[in-house]
Amino acid sequence: MFARRLSIQRIDAEGARHACLLRWIDSFAMRNFTNDAIFDDTMPLADGLLEAGARVPLDRLRSAMEDWFRRKGYLKPNERLEVAELKRVGEPAGQQIS
């Protein structure tokens, strides 16, 4: 079910990357558990890490997470979110959406 491991990073105004806190990712995942079926195939793992099924579109995930994080006050106006599929051993590099 969780075919992909994703990196969830907050990019600050200077361009530095910071792993999003697990509680942020979990807050998003729990909200979407009942509100948007496309994100049902996600599971928060740790700070900056989320597993997702193959049908979860990364561009839509990034946009929805960024919107939620802004509404919760987790992201400042000059910050953005980056969602990237992590390479698993023996696989080619994944897709990055920022």
Alpha-helix runs per DSSP H in 1-98: 22-35, 58-72
Evaluate whether 28 touches 6 at the Cβ level (below 8 Å): no
Structural domain boundaries of the chain? Answer: 4-86
Evaluate whether 16 touches 91 at the Cβ level (below 8 Å): no
- Residue 7's beta-bridge partner residues? 49, 84
CA–CA distance from 18 to each of 6, 30, 61 (Å)? 14, 22, 18
For the segment 40-98, what is each residue's pLDDT rounded down to a tens digit? 888 999 999 999 998 899 999 999 999 999 999 999 999 999 999 998 766 555 555 55
> Can you give the pTM of this predicted structure?
0.83
